[in-house]
């Protein structure tokens, strides 16, 4: 899957989606969450984690978002060097 986000705050790098996410969520849900993540909309994080991500964006640290689709909660993690972004379920972290 290739995702191009034209106004992102950072590069996603290679996008990896786990098998559990592929079985649990639609491709459209995953793509929408990836777009939100790339725009710095971190989803269901508390204020502390949201601010930590904003700081990580400035200083080149790992970025993590959390989203929910129905009953399924899932995470998106972009590595500090922006080479890889992984979409996974919380128990896969």
Distance from the Cα of residue 46 to its chain's centroid = 15
pLDDT digits (tens, 9 = 90+) for 41-79: 999 999 999 999 999 999 999 999 999 999 999 999 999
For residue 9, the tally of other CB atoms under 10 A from its CB is 13
- Buried b / exposed e along 36-68 (16+ C-beta atoms within 10 A): bbbeeebbebeeeebebbeebeeeeeebbbbbe
Q: Quote the pLDDT of residue 33.
A: 96
């Amino acid at each position: 899957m290739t995702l191009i986000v034209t106004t992102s705050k950072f590069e996603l790098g290679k996008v990896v989606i786990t098998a559990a996410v592929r079985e649990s969520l639609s491709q459209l849900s995953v793509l929408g969450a990836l777009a939100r993540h790339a725009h710095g909309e971190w989803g269901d994080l508390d204020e502390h984690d949201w601010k930590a991500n904003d700081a990580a964006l400035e200083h080149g640290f790992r970025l993590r978002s959390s989203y929910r689709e129905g009953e399924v909660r899932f995470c998106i993690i972009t590595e500090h060097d922006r080479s890889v972004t992984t979409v996974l379920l919380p128990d896969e972290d």
